[in-house]
Amino acid sequence: MNPAWMRQLTGVIALEWKKTFLSRRGWWVYLLALGPVVLTFLHSLIRARNQGGHSLFQDTQIFAGMFELYFLRLGIFFGCLGIFSNLFRGEMLEKTLHYYFLTPMRRELLVVGKYLSGLIVALVLFVASTGLSFWLIGRHQGAAWSEFLQHGAGLSQMIWYMVVAALACVGYGAVFLVAGLFIRNPLIPAAVVMVWENLNPFLPSLLKKFSVIFYLKSLCPVQINVPPPLNVLVTDTDPASAWIAVPGLLVVAMLVLAYAAISARRVEISYGE
């Protein structure tokens, strides 16, 4: 890459990640990331005082359900909506985007720089929240949980959950950056994407593969089943292998980002809309 482009890119990242972390509009994103940490801490605290009746296996199942139902479908989804859709939309609302457009910088670099800055924030918040929540949920098991983490499948499970959380940030981040750049109200496409993602278990096998959540769920180390009576509506589909899911999600995110970067050349500012 051209050295001047690299300096511009790093400059945008250095400026934007601080703005994103300190954004007044994004205070609720911190609550989304902090929520499961608080819940798992309380879970371990209460269970430590009430010994018995709760196995290590149950803790892993509880976290698997929380990760799929909360992290993937709510926490990371809406967290990325709040972070990435505001990267451009927030500048438009504050009437400051034209300052970037007046600088001698390629708009493709601006898009990539803003995306990477948002990704840094999302990864710090949600990957850390995932790892800490997993570590906390079984602390009441004492030595058994430490043994599970150090010599059992615990560490591998925690790493995979963190990898899936990171991939979710990469994929949803690219989608919501495009929404914030081109659509006046990003909540509309977010609602459409959310409905599609939540309908995934009930879709035909072919349609399931046109969804981010299908590949994220395929990578989860512990699978959970849809409870009855809804389980009769679920269609059986073999999960995607890691060799397909990981590169596939990264490629889709890069294609979406490339579309945004190229299309940004033609973006015109109209603060009066």
State yes or no: pLDDT of 36 exceeds 60: yes
Distance CA 180, CA 229 (A): 38
pLDDT in tens, 158-216: 999 999 999 999 999 999 998 888 887 878 888 888 888 888 877 888 888 888 888 99
Distance CA 211, CA 204 (A): 12
Residue type, 207: L
Chain centroid to CA 114: how far? 16
Entry pTM: 0.90
DSSP category for residue 272: T
Instruction: Report the residue count for the chain.
Output: 273
Identify whether the C-beta of residue 4 lies closer than 8 Å to the C-beta of residue 105: no
Distance CA 252, CA 248 (A): 6
Give the position of tokens 């400059």.
11
Distance CA 141, CA 147 (A): 10
Dihedral (Cα; 37, 41, 42, 44), 10-degree rounding: 140
Q: Please report the beta strands in the chain, taking only residues with DSSP state E, as ranges in sequence order.
A: none
Q: What is the reported pLDDT for 226? A: 64
Domain ranges within the chain, ordered by starting residue: 15-46+55-265
Identify whether the C-beta of residue 261 lies closer than 8 Å to the C-beta of residue 112: yes
Identify whether the C-beta of residue 199 lies closer than 8 Å to the C-beta of residue 259: no
- Binning pLDDT at 50, 70 and 90, where does residue 35 land? very high
Q: What is the reported pLDDT for 121? A: 93
Distance CA 70, CA 113 (A): 29
- Binning pLDDT at 50, 70 and 90, where does residue 120 land? very high
- Of 71 and 271, the structure prediction assigns the larger pLDDT to 71
pLDDT in tens, 6-25: 888 888 888 887 777 777 77
Q: Can you tell me the mean pLDDT for 31-46?
A: 91
